[in-house]
Amino acid sequence: MSENKCCCCGTAEACVDERDQKLQEIIAKYKDVRGALIPVLHEAQEVYGYLPMSVQKKISEGLDVPLAEIYGVVTFYTQFSLKPKGKYKINVCMGTACYVKGSGIILDKLKEKLGIEVGECTEDGLFSLDACRCIGACGLAPVITINEDVHGRLNPDDVEGIIESYTKTENK
């Protein structure tokens, strides 16, 4: 997706302008606050859905923080993303309990069903796929989360039905 288009709808320039205005308000709110970089990045990601280089440059200029420092923070912390995320963010737990019980196979099935790799987003913007170290639901292993929903005790045959349940929600 091009950085000059809206990550929400892909086309509307009005959305781009509205988000840029919100970013300027965020920067202004934190301009003279010591240690404000991480809160600014969090709020900017809420506005844009991710932190493309164009947004990082605006933050760099607005806060007078070197772009390299901003990029370092964004790439260090896993809660920040350089790529757009889907409406439904899928996280596959790859912690020990989940991995031993087959989360690797679940991940492979999700990649096959969605046609994407880890770290990518489907073309329609509905799903993004990530793997994480531990969700903290070891008793339900293997586990995935989709946004705030937890799906546990999975087997590969469950994947298709889970994805379809979210797709059906979109078609209503």
CB under 8 Å to 21, separation ≥6 — which residues?
none
Burial of 56 (C-beta count, 10 Å sphere; 0-12/13-18/19+)? buried
Confidence check: pLDDT of 83 > 60: yes
Beta strands in the chain (DSSP E): 88-93, 127-132, 144-146, 149-151
Cα 111 from Cα 130, distance rounded (Å):
10
Confidence check: pLDDT of 12 > 60: no
Residue 137, both tokens: 């639901």
Confidence check: pLDDT of 1 > 50: no
- pLDDT score, position 76: 93
- pLDDT score, position 78: 79
Confidence check: pLDDT of 71 > 60: yes
- pLDDT score, position 6: 52
Confidence check: pLDDT of 3 > 60: no
Confidence check: pLDDT of 11 > 90: no
Q: How far is CA 164 from CA 49, 86, 100, 167, 171, in A?
A: 24, 15, 26, 5, 10
Cα 157 from Cα 48, distance rounded (Å):
35
Cα 156 from Cα 124, distance rounded (Å):
23
- pLDDT score, position 2: 43
The label of the residue with tokens 């509205």 reads: 18
pLDDT in tens, 115-169: 999 999 999 999 999 999 999 999 999 999 999 999 999 999 999 999 999 998 7
- If you average pLDDT over residues 41-62, what whole number do you get? 96
